[in-house]
Every structure is written in structure tokens, then in C-alpha cells.
Amino acid sequence: MNMTDAERQSEVSRDTQRARKRCVIVGTRSMSKRARHFLSDLHCLIPCSTLSKKLSTDKSLTEAMKWTTEAQGGGSSMMLHTTDGGTLMWVTGGSSGPSASFVLKSLTTASELNTVRDDIGHSNNVLHFDKEFTEVPHLRVIKALLTGIFGPQKRSAFKRSVDHVCSFFYYDGNVWLRNYTVNVEGDDVELVEFGPRCALCPLAIIDGSFEGSCVWYNDQYRTDKDAH
């Protein structure tokens, strides 16, 4: 399913014009241990983010996330939820949307890479997106959402340095996240990977916050059950 030009421009414009607020990161109680470590890694990586309490799966996740986001000021938010089909990640640009859902794949935490950085919370991210994020309509929306979450905080209570890069690559239908430390020695610049790393398979984009009309969905996605 393809987005129309009007839908794409509406979603991108609404997201990029929204004032940057604190990002809320939440996981459900059904998360695996590795997923919880991954959320902690993201909390350290994302400027001015807050790691909220785990949501119960006994109630509506949509209503719970909307309430949590609005209680934290209506900024962007991210949720991880484990189901029988795997771990899902939701990201939203704010209380009015838009939102995108992904299947979390090929997850490796910072501790598993043995590259934990204790000082990462005191610096901003430089973001890198490959060219597909400017050429493919639905990836433009995803880029806007990810920029709103991972991008540098313009206003901060203290000065932040920039010494690492968050890179997003689109390959084989997945968005691949890689993080690199920037080491500068004289005229030499070296990028050294640190965690976490993962692949995100886009599932759908909707025009609201965790609910609303679907403006794009991945009709090529197949679960393991579908493959059999």
C-alpha cells in the first residue's frame, strides 16, 4: 500500500514542525530480559528521555500509552511490546501522532557487544540516514519520527558535546540501527561501533497516536507462521 503525496506531506510536516519535548520510553510487562536491557540502552542514548514504568498488558495499551505520553508533556514516545509474533516497537511523534510500528529483529544490547558507555547521556547524537530515507515516501515519515526521538536537543539545561553518531540504514526491507563513537586524534577521525544495534521491520504508519487511520502498511511482511 502506497501513501499519497498529500498524506506523506501532511505527516512529515506535522512531525517536523512539532516542538521537541521529552521522549517517553515504555515497555510492557511481557517484555523479555533482553528487550528490557535494550530499552535501558535507548534511554541512555536518547537525549532528554524518560524511562517510564512497565505497562500492564491487562488493559488497553493504546489508552495507557496515550495517558503516559500526555502525562509527560505530550512529546514523542516509544513502546516495546512482546507478543507471540515477536517484539513490536511503536514510535509516535506526540499526542496527535503520527505513529509507526515495527518488528524488532537482530537485537544486540550494549552489554552483549561489550561496549557500554557510561558517559553517553551527557552528549547529543549526530544522525545519519542513507538516501532511501529521502527517496521512499513512507521512509520519509519514519525518518521524521526517528529524528524527533533520537535527534539532538536544541534547548538543554547544560551544554552537551557531540561525540557519537546514530546511523540508520535501509536494507532488505529493514531499518538498521548502528551507533558509533567519534574518536578524534589530530587530523584523524575514527568511528568505533558501540551498542545497541538492531533491525526494525516497518509494519504500518497511522495518522494518530497509537491509533487512527492507516496511511501505509507493509504488504510484503510475512511472519514465520505465514512462511509455513
DSSP code for 163 = E
According to DSSP, residue 52 is labeled P
Pairing of strands 188-206, 174-185: antiparallel
Domains for the chain: give ranges and CATH numbers: 5-218 (3.40.50.10480)
Residues 6+ apart with CB under 8 A from 194: 110, 113, 115, 116, 117, 164, 179, 180, 181
pLDDT values of the chain reduced to their tens digit, one per residue, 228 residues: 555 544 444 444 444 444 456 788 888 887 888 888 898 888 888 877 887 767 665 556 666 666 666 655 657 888 888 887 788 999 988 778 899 999 999 999 988 887 655 555 546 778 999 999 999 999 999 999 999 888 876 554 444 555 788 999 999 999 999 998 888 888 888 888 888 999 999 999 999 888 889 999 999 887 654 443
Instruction: Quickly list H helices, 125-172.
Output: 132-135, 137-150
> Cα-Cα-Cα-Cα dihedral of 84, 89, 90, 91, to 10°?
180
Count of C-beta atoms within a 10 Å radius of residue 41: 26
3-state secondary structure of 94: coil
Question: Which pLDDT does position 199 carry in this prediction?
Answer: 97
Query: In whole numbers, what is the pLDDT of the chain averaged over residues?
Result: 78
Q: What is the pTM of this model?
A: 0.80
Rounded Cα gap, residues 68 and 64, in angstroms? 6
Q: What is the pLDDT of residue 14?
A: 47
